[in-house]
């Protein structure tokens, strides 16, 4: 079994679905379901076989474009193992959710969903810089089509949304491509070696501080747009409003994590000096994202955007943890990526259920009193909501605790400001919950309980959330060696910087 | 069975009860949910007694037992030693007994009191969950368990405040309580960081050892900062100024909830926290003094507000705040045993007062206003008796329980000398206020001409609202669900309520006898092993001070009652003249010192303004305008919108990406060669 099977299986199944989908509208959805669960099973197989001792495992390394030093190189270690599992879980959930309703041209719809999963898994597994960039850019295309063709609202709105999405990402992608190529070329130049884009090799051969700094900024821009972080989140409102919900659940749950993961996989190890240099800038962006995202989340009335902007805030916490540049922060960030992915999918799914009960409106003002005949729905919403606001006792709290502890140890002030965001989270989550489920019944609200199909999406993920709350070690234990290693590189590099600085005069 | 096993069982039963009631809401009938809920807590109480007996079997020096279920430690060398562990020592056993004991009675009371409610099994699921959370809080053996319990009780409190969720007033009160409690949680977390930084452990006993071993030598600032942040948590949970505004609003919850959570147990968590952390606070006197002063200020301010409130539950709520002020002042000053003793007696008499108030509210068909109640003495003799017992205990009339415990606090504070003398005097001022507002409430509700409802009840007919309304704002209830139900219950007609109230009345009357100055000191002897290292444990007040206090306390309580009698019984109507005479003070008190308005102005509005500014201005002008408008113009220039999606745009993008990429690659390849 190699990682290639894991990565390409969703796409292959989706292509088969598109080809055979003409026979009956049921073929493509069911095939996609099968494919996503097969992928999930394979991911579980990898997690079970993974040696928790750490190190890069299940490595595939083939030369791809040998003259340019680009290789098709894949592998799993502590940083991406659990994220790969998360991606397959969320895509399986999204595929079930997509199976619960009819789509026009289902063959194509599920083709793009499968392609999205392949791109995401590829980006997580890639161990070559150019390969990562390729998968990272590939991620955009499926979601572009999913939004443009199956999105909500008028066609002009969809165009507007996709245009914003594409242009924002385009700018980021181009910067990243330039930066990636420059990294390889400059490394080869400065160290007099053959051209290589292998991440492991690049991490062993650090660039000069000057080159690191501008390259760092290019990568940071690309990743921050994708997360998105304040103030480059301009594509988010329209994009989130229009994207079809199953796709949005996967997109918000996983794609944003690829960006955060990029910082850990590429930026910290390959540009350690720049990471230290720009630490405060990134912490500042993170804190601004937390505060701004929270403020937007508690003032907007569109239920999707409440979740969307809460993601901005949550991604802010994750960025905060990464740029604490110590083990606690990185561990917390990794755990929080999983936690946030796990709550995002059910939240968006619940928005769909709420809208179905509020006469099709996704506006909180049209909701109210839905809990009445739907105690199960209300309970699940509450559990997911409390996890989202990182109530102690949830895995989200463990993640946030470690992130804040990391930042506290690195820069106390940022920990205090970020802590304000913790209180704000409770406001926007409970506000959304109360306005939807409690208070007087909205004008066109018709309360009814969840169906078994809905439970098939929600119940397993809520169970995973609860299980992870009792046993966050599942992720933490596996990521510990990798987190240690990524931080260790930073401390040696900063001491190296110090020693060269001393040696200079 | 070993001691810690008993303690684990104490945790297990409420959790089981909550789970069974939560999952079986369709199958369990009304009887089932109530019986399971009550039995679960009753069993927990039995196990707590088991733990007590077992603990007393150990030597005094070995009465701090830790048991770990499993170890969360992963980040080994960075020093976060997280364990699922409990600490069983006299303090936690004491808290466990108070919590499970009072909870059992309140569950029993609820079986009848809530019988008309649509959400019966939901109610018992929440209430059991609350007890479980509270037990986690008091049993937790490290900071993480404490924080988890701390947050869980906050969530349970939120759920129960918003229990009647169709009421806008209830949901608003719920979110307010939750958010203020989260502020407290955040304080607790940050405080933990400060302490962890130098102690290197999250374990309580390990932390105390580290503190005594001088881990904070030279880091006094960290310790003080840590303790002050812990106080933020304590104040938020225990409704101390300025984080108190949620407690009066929390009276939106069902009355038994007010009785259990917002009087007897959860709100005393701050007292427990300071007592538990005494080794830290004694090394950080600035923080301890802050606690004592804030407690004193709270007891006075809350007492003055209670004088003017007309909602019977809110009077008792402010009284709770005030009494917790006494406890916080005590533990801040170092009188841990005194504070905890008052915690127990207060749990009895305040739970009793709330239960009796619930009974009157039942008789008023849900009405809570003192303006409308009067003359219930003959109609409800049992409720009246309980209310008077509770009132006497609260006012501190001998030999009722509150007399001995309040007196112990004040005597201890007085013995500290120095500026503590000011707190000592103000404590007696508070005691006077307590007697006045307590008996104002009793006289107005029970004496005087019977109101319509009371007369009806005397003829054997319980008042019944034609159209149920929300007493807080007069809004007509949504009768589907989420309101108290059309039927009401009074103690006189429900045996479970009678039993629960009688037992509490017994406790409110006689609990003080456990610890009478010069006679016995059961509580002190029991708690002594926990506080053995305290520098105040043997700082007993002198005999003269104690005797003086006993006399002064009696005089003050009786004169307060006499004043209330004069104003509200002898000369009915004279209250208006008093209001006129002290108009500025009255305005201040009846507006609750404008704390709500102040917090609204300083916190809520700025945040709301920030939110609105972000949404209306920043997002539109900067993010949309500057960053996105460029985008739109590109599209317009390119092709019409519809064509863009079908044909050109993606190709355009892909081509640009490829071209740009190729150009860059080419450049670097040329440069490299």
pLDDT tens digits, one per residue of A295-337: 888 888 899 999 999 999 999 999 999 999 888 889 899 999 9
C-alpha torsion B641→B643→B645→B649, nearest 10: -100
B480 found inside a domain: no
Q: Does the pLDDT of residue A496 top 50, yes or no?
A: no
B189 found inside a domain: yes
B264 found inside a domain: yes
**Residue B180 and residue B94 in one domain:** yes
Put simply, the answer to whether B152 touches A393 (Cβ < 8 Å) is yes
- Classify residue B72 by its DSSP letter: -
- At A444 the pLDDT is 83
Residues in chain A closer than 8 A to B18 (CB atoms): none
**Residue B124 and residue B149 in one domain:** yes
Beta bridge partners of A73: A61
**Residue B567 and residue B666 in one domain:** no
Query: Chain A: residue nearest B612 by CA?
Result: A299
Q: Rounded CA gap, B384 and B368, in Å?
A: 16
Contact map slice: B 161-190 vs A, CB within 8 A = 162, 165-166, 168, 171, 174-175, 178-179, 182-183, 185-186, 189-190
Last residue of a domain, one of B562, B590, B618: B590
**Residue B37 and residue B156 in one domain:** yes
**Residue B581 and residue B600 in one domain:** no
- At B372 the pLDDT is 87
- Tell me if residue B75 falls in helix, strand or coil: coil
Query: In this complex, which of B72, B74, B649 lies closest to A480 when CB atoms are compared?
Result: B74
Q: For residue B87, what are its two tokens?
A: 């600490």
- At B670 the pLDDT is 61
B481 found inside a domain: no
**Residue B64 and residue B109 in one domain:** yes
What are the tens digits of pLDDT across the range A176-216?
A: 888 998 898 888 888 888 888 888 888 888 888 888 888 99
Q: Does the pLDDT of residue B669 top 80, yes or no?
A: no
Beta bridge partners of A72: A62
Query: In this complex, which of A292, A419, A438 lies closest to B186 when CB atoms are compared?
Result: A419
Last residue of a domain, one of B590, B621, B641: B590
The owner of tokens 């120095």 is: B418
- Count interface pairs A-B at CB distance under 8 A: 197
- At B641 the pLDDT is 42
Q: Rounded CA gap, A322 and A490, in Å?
A: 12
B476 found inside a domain: no
DSSP H helices in B447-491: 452-458
Residues in chain B closer than 8 A to A298 (CB atoms): 607, 611
Q: Rounded CA gap, A446 and A453, in Å?
A: 19
In percent, the amount of chain B with pLDDT more than 90 equals 39
Nearest CA to CA, how far is A50 from chain B (Å)? 18
Contact map slice: B 630-649 vs A, CB within 8 A = 631-632, 634-635, 641-642, 644-645, 649
Q: Does the pLDDT of residue B635 top 80, yes or no?
A: no
- At B479 the pLDDT is 66
**Interface ipTM:** 0.90
Contacts of A184 (CB under 8 A, 6+ apart): A68, A69, A129, A130, A195, A196, A197, A202, B668
pLDDT class of B632 with cuts at 50, 70, 90: low
**Residue B287 and residue B358 in one domain:** yes
The reply to whether A326 touches chain B by the CB within 8 Å rule is: yes
**Residue B109 and residue B137 in one domain:** yes
**Residue B213 and residue B256 in one domain:** yes
The three state secondary structure string of B402-465 is HHHHHHHHHHHHHHHCCCHHHHHHHHHHHHHHHHHHHHHHHHHHHCCCCCHHHHHHHCCCCCCC
B477 found inside a domain: no
Q: What is the mean pLDDT of residues A21-33?
A: 83
- At B627 the pLDDT is 56
Residues in chain A closer than 8 A to B664 (CB atoms): 177-178, 181-182
Domain range for B390: 3-471+486-590
pLDDT class of B624 with cuts at 50, 70, 90: low
> What's the structural domain count of chain B?
2
Residue scoring higher pLDDT (B641 or B264): B264
Nearest CA to CA, how far is B627 from chain A (Å)? 7
How do beta strands A70-76 and B65-71 pair?
A: unpaired
Query: Chain B: residue nearest A171 by CA?
Result: B657
What are the tens digits of pLDDT across the range A367-384?
A: 888 888 888 899 999 999
**Residue B580 and residue B668 in one domain:** no
Put simply, the answer to whether B193 touches A404 (Cβ < 8 Å) is yes
Put simply, the answer to whether B628 touches A234 (Cβ < 8 Å) is yes
Residue scoring higher pLDDT (B319 or A69): B319
Nearest to B202 by CA among B188, B213, B214: B188
pLDDT class of A359 with cuts at 50, 70, 90: confident
Q: Rounded CA gap, A260 and A334, in Å?
A: 9
The owner of tokens 């201890």 is: B412
Residues in chain B closer than 8 A to A434 (CB atoms): 162, 165, 171, 174-175
B223 found inside a domain: yes
- Tell me if residue A363 falls in helix, strand or coil: strand
Last residue of a domain, one of B537, B564, B590: B590
Nearest to B255 by CA among B266, B245, B263, B244: B263
B513 found inside a domain: yes
Put simply, the answer to whether A408 touches B190 (Cβ < 8 Å) is yes
**Residue B30 and residue B160 in one domain:** yes
- Classify residue B58 by its DSSP letter: S
**Residue B636 and residue B535 in one domain:** no
């Amino acid at each position: 079994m190699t990682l290639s099977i894991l990565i390409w299986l969703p796409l292959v199944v989706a292509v088969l679905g598109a080809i055979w989908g003409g026979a009956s509208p049921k073929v493509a959805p069911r095939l996609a379901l099968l494919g996503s669960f097969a992928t999930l099973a394979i991911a579980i197989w990898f997690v079970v076989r993974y040696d928790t001792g750490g190190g890069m495992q299940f490595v595939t390394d083939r030369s791809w474009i040998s003259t340019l030093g680009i290789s098709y190189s894949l592998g799993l270690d502590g940083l991406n193992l659990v994220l790969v599992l998360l991606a397959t879980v969320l895509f399986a959930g999204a595929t079930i959710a997509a199976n619960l309703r009819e789509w026009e041209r289902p063959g194509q719809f599920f083709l793009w969903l499968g392609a999205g999963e392949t791109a995401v898994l590829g980006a997580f597994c890639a161990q070559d810089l150019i390969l990562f960039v390729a998968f990272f850019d590939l991620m955009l295309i499926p979601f572009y089509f999913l939004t443009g063709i199956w999105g909500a609202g008028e066609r002009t709105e969809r165009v507007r949304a996709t245009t914003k999405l594409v242009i924002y990402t385009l700018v980021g992608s181009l910067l990243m491509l330039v930066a990636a190529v420059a990294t390889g070329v400059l490394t080869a130049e400065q160290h007099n070696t053959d051209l290589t884009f292998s991440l492991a090799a690049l991490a062993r051969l650090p660039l000069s501080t000057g080159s690191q700094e501008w390259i760092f900024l290019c990568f940071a821009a690309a990743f921050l747009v994708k997360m998105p972080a304040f103030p480059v989140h301009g594509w988010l409102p329209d994009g989130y409003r229009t994207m079809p919900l199953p796709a949005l659940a996967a997109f918000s749950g996983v794609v944003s994590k690829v960006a955060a993961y990029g910082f850990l996989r590429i930026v910290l190890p390959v540009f350690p000096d720049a990471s230290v240099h720009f630490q405060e800038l990134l912490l500042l962006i993170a804190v601004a994202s937390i505060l701004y995202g929270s403020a937007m989340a508690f003032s907007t009335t569109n239920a999707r955007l409440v979740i969307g902007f809460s993601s901005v805030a949550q991604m802010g916490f994750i960025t905060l943890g990464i740029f604490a540049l110590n083990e606690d922060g990185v561990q917390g960030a990794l755990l929080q990526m999983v936690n946030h992915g796990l709550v995002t999918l059910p939240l968006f799914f619940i928005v769909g259920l709420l809208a179905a009960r509020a006469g099709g409106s996704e506006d909180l003002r049209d909701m109210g009193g839905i809990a009445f005949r739907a105690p199960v729905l209300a309970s699940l919403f509450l559990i997911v909501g409390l996890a989202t606001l990182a109530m102690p006792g949830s895995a989200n709290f463990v993640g946030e605790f470690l992130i804040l502890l990391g930042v506290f140890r690195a820069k106390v002030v940022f920990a205090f400001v970020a802590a304000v965001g913790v209180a704000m989270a409770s406001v926007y989550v409970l506000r959304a919950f109360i306005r939807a489920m409690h208070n007087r019944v909205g004008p066109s609200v018709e309360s009814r309980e969840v169906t078994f199909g809905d439970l098939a999406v929600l119940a397993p993920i809520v169970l995973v959330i609860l299980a992870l709350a009792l046993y966050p070690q599942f992720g933490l234990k596996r990521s510990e060696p990798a987190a240690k290693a990524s931080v260790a590189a930073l401390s040696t590099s900063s001491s190296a910087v110090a020693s060269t600085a001393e040696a200079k005069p | 069975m070993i001691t810690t096993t008993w303690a684990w069982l104490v945790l297990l039963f409420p959790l089981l009860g909550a789970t069974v009631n939560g999952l079986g809401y369709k199958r369990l009938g009304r009887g089932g949910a109530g019986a399971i809920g009550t039995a679960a807590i009753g069993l927990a109480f039995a196990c707590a007694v088991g733990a007590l007996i077992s603990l007393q079997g150990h030597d005094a020096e070995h009465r701090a037992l830790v048991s770990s279920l499993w170890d969360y430690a992963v980040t080994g060398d960075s020093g976060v030693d997280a364990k699922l562990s409990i600490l069983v020592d006299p303090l936690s056993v004491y808290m466990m007994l108070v919590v499970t004991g009072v909870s059992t009675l309140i569950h029993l009371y609820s079986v009848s009191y809530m019988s008309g409610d649509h959400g019966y099994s939901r109610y018992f699921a929440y209430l059991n969950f609350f007890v479980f959370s509270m037990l986690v809080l008091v049993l937790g053996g490290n900071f993480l368990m404490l924080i988890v319990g701390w947050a869980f009780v906050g969530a349970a409190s939120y759920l129960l405040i918003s229990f009647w969720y169709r009421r806008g007033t209830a949901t608003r009160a719920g979110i307010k309580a939750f958010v203020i409690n989260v502020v407290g949680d955040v304080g607790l977390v940050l405080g933990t960081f400060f302490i962890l930084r130098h102690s290197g452990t999250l374990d309580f006993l390990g932390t105390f050892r580290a503190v005594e071993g001088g881990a904070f030598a030279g880091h006094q600032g960290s310790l003080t900062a840590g303790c002050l942040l812990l106080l933020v948590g304590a104040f938020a949970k225990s409704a101390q100024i300025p984080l108190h505004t949620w407690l009066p609003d929390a009276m939106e919850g069902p009355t038994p909830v007010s009785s259990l959570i917002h009087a007897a147990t959860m709100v005393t968590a701050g007292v427990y926290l300071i007592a538990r952390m005494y080794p830290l606070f004694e090394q950080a006197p600035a923080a301890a003094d802050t606690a004592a002063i804030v407690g004193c200020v709270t007891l006075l301010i809350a007492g003055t507000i209670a004088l003017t409130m007309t909602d019977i539950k809110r009077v008792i709520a402010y009284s709770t705040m005030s009494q917790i002020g006494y406890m916080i002042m005590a533990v801040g000053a170092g009188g841990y045993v005194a504070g905890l003793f008052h915690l127990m007696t207060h749990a009895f008499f305040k739970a009793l007062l709330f239960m009796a108030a619930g009974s009157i509210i039942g008789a008023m068909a849900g009405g809570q206003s003192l303006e409308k109640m009067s003359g219930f003495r003959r109609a409800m003799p049992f409720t009246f008796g309980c209310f008077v017992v509770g009132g006497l205990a609260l006012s501190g009339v001998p030999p009722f329980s509150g007399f001995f415990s309040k007196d112990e606090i004040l005597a201890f504070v007085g013995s500290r000398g120095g500026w503590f003398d000011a707190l000592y005097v103000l404590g007696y001022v508070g005691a006077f206020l307590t007697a006045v507002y307590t008996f104002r409430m009793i006289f107005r509700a029970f004496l005087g001409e019977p109101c319509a409802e009371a007369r009806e009840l005397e003829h054997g007919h319980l008042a019944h609202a034609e159209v149920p309304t929300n007493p807080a704002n007069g809004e007509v209830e949504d009768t589907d669900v989420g309101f108290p139900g059309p039927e009401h219950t009074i103690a006189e007609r429900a045996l479970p309520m009678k039993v629960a109230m009688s037992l509490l009345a017994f406790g409110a009357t006689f609990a003080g006898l456990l610890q009478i100055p010069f006679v016995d000191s059961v509580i002190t002897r029991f708690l002594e092993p926990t506080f053995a290292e305290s520098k105040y444990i043997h700082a007993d007040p002198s005999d003269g001070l104690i005797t003086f206090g006993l006399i002064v306390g009696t005089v003050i309580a009786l004169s307060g009652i006499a004043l209330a009698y004069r104003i509200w019984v002898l000369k009915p109507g004279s209250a208006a003249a008093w209001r006129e005479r002290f108009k500025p003070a009255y305005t201040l008190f009846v507006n609750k010192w404008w704390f709500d308005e102040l917090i609204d102005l300083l916190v809520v509005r700025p945040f709301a303004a920030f939110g609105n500014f972000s949404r209306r201005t920043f997002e539109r002008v900067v993010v949309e305008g500057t960053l996105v408008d460029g985008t739109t113009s590109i599209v317009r220039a390119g092709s019409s919108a519809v064509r863009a999606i079908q044909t050109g745009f993606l190709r355009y993008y892909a081509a640009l990406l490829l071209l740009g990429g190729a150009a860059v690659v080419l450049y670097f390849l040329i440069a490299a060669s």
